[in-house]
A and B are shown apart, each in its own frame.
Chain A
Amino acid sequence: MAVELLKGNVAFAEAAVRAGCEAYFGYPITPQTEALEHMAKRMPELGRVFVQAESEVAAINMVYGAAAAGARVMTSSSSPGVSLMMEGISYIAGSEVPAVVVDVMRGGPGLGNIAPAQCDYLQMVKGGGHGDYRSIVLAPSTVQELIDHTVLAFDLAEAWRTIVVVLADGSLGQMMEGAELPPMRPPRPPSERAAWALTGAIGRPTNLVSSIHLEPSEEEAFNQRLQAKYAAIEAAEVRVEEHLTGDARIAVVAFGTAARLAKTAIAAARDDGLAVGVLRPITLDPFPTAALRALAERVDGLLVVEMNAGQMLQDVQRVVAERVPVRFFGRTGGVMPMPEEIGAAIRELAHEVGAADDAAPWQEVPA
């Protein structure tokens, strides 16, 4: 396959098709709609399932149904739509069926706007739906990663029988970038669906997909099993990128689009003689606790940069536990932080912790 100029929303939809996605259920919402439109064209063309649901509530429950039948299935939406999916996500987690959800985040709360934001971190990483469940949350920062994570999401969802969320934002969904699509994997034939799936009880005991455990002790046993699974996921699936952290005295911690903005900012800071790097959690859940803790031992200060009011910040503070100063720079409401502003925040922190001694003299950055 060759590198092509691809729009993020189209790229992840096509990646899902090529990963053998058998069914897509969704509802239009900006800045994600091109994905739904791509599926509307592609899925019927390939004899696969596409349904424009009457709402996101219906879409996620259609996903629940198809997943219960053992099919590779996904939905995609953006923040207000994802809020409506929370009940279904909790049910899917509570019955341990695999499903993929792509959230192309936009500014909130409420109707907010359609500009790029990262304000669903807490909703996606900490739950959002009810109950003691967790999801695997992947945070792509390029169109290529958006493609790769979508493919990976299906594999992880099936390997762990869990919800996998690809947490993108309006910028990744709307931008075009050179990227390579994966080769076409044919969908798994229905005859090869998982043993637990609802395929009809021909010659076998019946299967049940349900999240009800009326007896508290049974619900507790189930929860303990879930927690054990999450611990195993934590041990096996952490993904993190460290960019120029080797000699860094200051590190930016950022995910997704904010991380790529930060990379441009640290390039300029390094030109001024500041030793700065970026730690980018690729999995937001499981969170790269060990890598962050190790980095916190080496650097003089951490700057968390997010397109929200400081959501991942809570996790960074928890992990770092006052080993080094943790500062925050964020823009909210769909405003993207410009690399110049991030650079100013880096310099401020460098001066605060004395990491700027051999750096070029302070310069006001034009806003």
Chain B
Amino acid sequence: MTTAPLATTPVYERPDALTDVPTHYCPGCTHGIAHRLIAEVIDELGVRETTIGVASVGCSVFAYRYFATDFAQAAHGRAPAMATGLKRVSPERLVFTYQGDGDLASIGAAEILHAAARGEAITVFFLNNATYGMTGGQMAPTSLIGQKTTSSPLGRDAASQGSPIRMSELIAQLDGAAYVVRRSLHDVVQIKRAKKAIREAFEVQQRGLGFAMVELLSSCPTNWGMAPDEALGWIRDAMVPAYPLGDFKVPEGLRPARKGAHA
């Protein structure tokens, strides 16, 4: 008996903007999802050859291995400054940074605020996993009150260690910031929304509307000491209440293009 070959439609392929190498991320880490979403958008916009990425210092320091675009690797916290330099001398290129919470909200707090205040035409992807992943799980500026980390062994205490910084809300205050939203990567619905925001953040840059940032609530199962699915649950149950999802600033110019924007 012969069987006719089945007609196959690919349901899953590697985007051209991702290289064909296994990542170094831990099993269940959402850095991989964020990479894929960004790469899919780069493909869809057809900008792989005209985009320049800036990797920060954190677990995503090796992002340059995974994106098939030009890439730079900045000093810890300085990616927005480096991106400023890149963008100012090559305004026709799309420039994005990819930064963790230690990088963006701690050591690089000045650089990100000033890049936003200047209305730098760059796109920032801010992965907030409430910890320092690469160095082994220390407290981050975004760690939750009571969260136990290797440098807050008794749990983060507001009186001595301060309170979590909501960077999106903070940056949205700045006149130069054009597009600031927070999304999450904890389930399929949220992931789809995140992708849409990533696309918008690139479009803001393409249309010259100013500084754009997408904050993505992200997991670090390794340093949270959780199984991957438990970690996604922790984003939903512990992080989302502290970091409400939503749009903090969306430029007028983008509005007509948006159908069914969600809060």
* Residues of chain A within 8 A of B135, CB atoms compared: 28-30, 33
What is the 8 Å Cβ interface bit string for chain B, positions 99-112, against chain A (1 contact, 0 not)? 00010001101000
Does A44 count as interface, using CB distance less than 8 angstroms?
yes
- Stretch from A34-42, A240-248, A258-266 forming part of the interface with B: A34-42
A28-77 at interface with B (beta carbon < 8 Å): 28-30, 33, 36-37, 40-41, 44, 51-52, 54-56
Asked, given contacts A37-B151, A40-B152, whether A54 binds B141 with beta carbons under 8 Å apart, the answer is yes
Name B109's closest neighbour in chain A (CB-CB).
A54
A101-148 at interface with B (beta carbon < 8 Å): 110-111
Which residue of A37, A54, A56, A110 is within 8 Å of B138 (Cβ)? A37
- Stretch from B20-28, B73-81, B88-96, B237-245 forming part of the interface with A: B73-81
Contact B106 A44 (CB under 8 A): no
Contact A33 B136 (CB under 8 A): yes
* Residues of chain B within 8 A of A55, CB atoms compared: 77, 106-107
Contact B138 A52 (CB under 8 A): yes
Contact B76 A80 (CB under 8 A): yes
Does B50 count as interface, using CB distance less than 8 angstroms?
no
Contact A36 B151 (CB under 8 A): yes
For A, the interface residue count at a CB cutoff of 8 angstroms equals: 18
Does A27 count as interface, using CB distance less than 8 angstroms?
yes
* Residues of chain B within 8 A of A44, CB atoms compared: 154, 160
* Residues of chain B within 8 A of A111, CB atoms compared: 57, 61, 73, 75-76
Q: Give Cα A199 to B41, complex, Å.
A: 58
Contact A40 B151 (CB under 8 A): yes
B124-158 at interface with A (beta carbon < 8 Å): 132, 134-136, 138-139, 141, 150-154
Asked, given contacts A33-B138, A36-B151, A40-B150, whether A52 binds B75 with beta carbons under 8 Å apart, the answer is no
B240-261 at interface with A (beta carbon < 8 Å): none
Within the complex, the shortest CB–CB distance from B162 to chain A, in Å, comes to: 9
Among A44, A54, A55, A80, max chain B CB count under 10 A is at: A54
Q: Which residues of A pack against B, CB within 8 Å?
A: 27-30, 33, 36-37, 40-41, 44, 51-52, 54-56, 80, 110-111
Q: Which residues of B pack against A, CB within 8 Å?
A: 57, 61, 73, 75-77, 102, 106-107, 109, 132, 134-136, 138-139, 141, 150-154, 160-161
Q: Which 3 A-B pairs have the closest CB atoms?
A: A55-B107, A40-B151, A28-B135
